[in-house]
């Protein structure tokens, strides 16, 4: 056990990293019943980084309480965490403070089309690349709606059984057969935790968010740089697992 009269740099580093994480949790987790570290962990299950580090952070919370409650005075501790523990909690703090941006998990490039695009051109892409959604823009370059493979199938189901000719069919002809999809735009510098919140807000509002579109400044008048669906959220979990190794 450390001499109680000896300054312990590792304990100070541990407490500093813990406080950094706590600060990030208070910003990241909303609607928690309090700012308690453990309450924030319990309330933040929707965030991949919290799920990834939950067990370690619970243990570190116990260690932090022991250090703080047993601290004799400022900068003097009765015990000291080992260097591996300190290095690990500092690594976690860095991940909280510098999360990857949305482009790191987004599907890109995004194939987007004008409303007067021939449908046959899109069907070739579906066949070749298996894409399932396409942002549609008007002639002035403003996003208008989302064309999906389900919408294309719905349109096909309405065609005469005697035969379908798509030579003169344009994208705008499918609009009435496409469901209205909820789409949100974010700027390219948005981090992955903010996007998790966007999906969480939609869920709480009982809305199905079909896609988050990433543009330079988060505007519907800009070309898409990437697109995120709920499936991409699985990649956030995978990315956090990689960062933990």
Residues 206-224 have pLDDT tens digits of: 999 999 999 999 999 999 9
From the list 87, 78, 142, the residue with the least C-alpha distance to 112 is: 142
- Whether residue 169 sits in one domain with residue 121: yes
Of 64, 97, 130, the domain-final residue: 97
CA-to-CA distance for 215 and 221, rounded, in angstroms?
9
- Whether residue 229 sits in one domain with residue 128: yes
- Whether residue 114 sits in one domain with residue 153: yes
Q: In degrees to the nearest 10, what's the CA dihedral of 53, 55, 58, 64?
A: -70
- Whether residue 225 sits in one domain with residue 127: yes
| 162 contact partners, CB below 8 Å, separation of at least 6 | none
- Whether residue 112 sits in one domain with residue 52: no
Quote the pLDDT of residue 148: 94
Quote the pLDDT of residue 238: 57
Residue 137 lies in a domain: yes
Query: Can you give the CATH number for the domain in which 143 is found?
Result: 3.10.580.10
Quote the pLDDT of residue 174: 95
Q: What is the DSSP letter of 19?
A: H
For the chain, the domain total comes to 2
Residue 188 lies in a domain: yes
Residue 148 lies in a domain: yes
From the list 112, 129, 148, the residue with the least C-alpha distance to 222 is: 112
- Whether residue 165 sits in one domain with residue 85: no
SS3 173: helix
Q: What is the mean pLDDT of residues 230-245?
A: 63
- Whether residue 112 sits in one domain with residue 178: yes
| Residue 88, domain extent | 9-97
Long-range contacts, stretch 205-209, CB < 8 angstroms, 24+ apart: 207/182, 208/182, 209/182, 209/183, 209/184
Of 58, 81, 97, the domain-final residue: 97
- Whether residue 63 sits in one domain with residue 22: yes
- Whether residue 239 sits in one domain with residue 125: yes
Band the pLDDT of 8: cuts 50, 70, 90. Answer: low
Quote the pLDDT of residue 1: 44
Residue 59 lies in a domain: yes
Residue with tokens 């991940």: 95
Q: What is the pLDDT of residues 50-104, one digit of tens each?
A: 988 999 999 999 999 888 766 555 556 666 789 999 999 999 999 999 988 899 8
From the list 37, 33, 8, 42, the residue with the least C-alpha distance to 25 is: 37
Beta strands in the chain (DSSP E): 113-114, 133-137, 143-148, 182-187, 209-215, 226-228
- Whether residue 117 sits in one domain with residue 60: no
- Whether residue 164 sits in one domain with residue 76: no
Q: What is the pLDDT of residues 35-45, one digit of tens each?
A: 999 999 999 98
Residue 4 lies in a domain: no
From the list 108, 245, 120, 217, the residue with the least C-alpha distance to 171 is: 120
Exposed e or buried b per residue across 40-66, where buried means at least 16 C-beta atoms within 10 angstroms of its C-beta: bbebbebbbbbbbbeeebeebbebbee
Spatial contact of 233 and 192, defined as CB atoms under 8 Å apart: no
Longest CA span, the chain: 91
Q: What is the mean pLDDT of residues 110-135?
A: 93
Of 69, 97, 125, the domain-final residue: 97
SS3 147: strand
- In terms of pLDDT, which residue wins out, 145 or 99? 145
- Whether residue 84 sits in one domain with residue 131: no
């Amino acid at each position: 056990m450390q001499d109680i009269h000896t300054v312990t740099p590792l304990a100070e580093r541990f407490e500093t990293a813990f406080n950094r994480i706590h600060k990030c949790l208070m910003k990241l987790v909303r609607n928690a019943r309090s700012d308690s570290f453990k309450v924030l962990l319990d309330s933040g299950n929707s965030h991949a980084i919290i799920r990834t580090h939950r067990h370690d952070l619970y243990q570190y919370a116990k260690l932090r309480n022991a250090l703080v409650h047993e601290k004799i005075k400022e900068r003097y501790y009765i015990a000291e965490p080992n260097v591996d523990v300190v290095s690990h909690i500092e690594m976690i703090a860095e991940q909280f403070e510098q999360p990857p941006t949305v482009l790191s998990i987004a599907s890109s490039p995004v194939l987007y089309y004008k409303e007067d695009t021939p449908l046959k051109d899109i069907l070739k892409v579906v066949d070749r690349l298996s894409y399932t959604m396409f942002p549609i823009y008007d002639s002035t370059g403003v996003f208008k709606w989302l064309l999906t493979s389900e919408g294309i199938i719905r349109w096909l189901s309405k065609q005469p059984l005697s035969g379908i000719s798509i030579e003169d069919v344009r994208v705008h002809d499918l609009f009435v057969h496409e469901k209205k999809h909820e789409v949100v735009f974010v700027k390219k510098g948005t981090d992955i935790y903010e996007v998790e919140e966007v999906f969480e807000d939609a869920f709480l509002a009982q809305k199905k968010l079909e896609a988050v579109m990433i543009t330079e400044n988060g505007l519907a008048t800009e070309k898409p740089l990437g697109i995120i669906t709920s499936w991409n959220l699985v990649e956030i979990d995978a990315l956090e697992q990689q960062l933990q190794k």
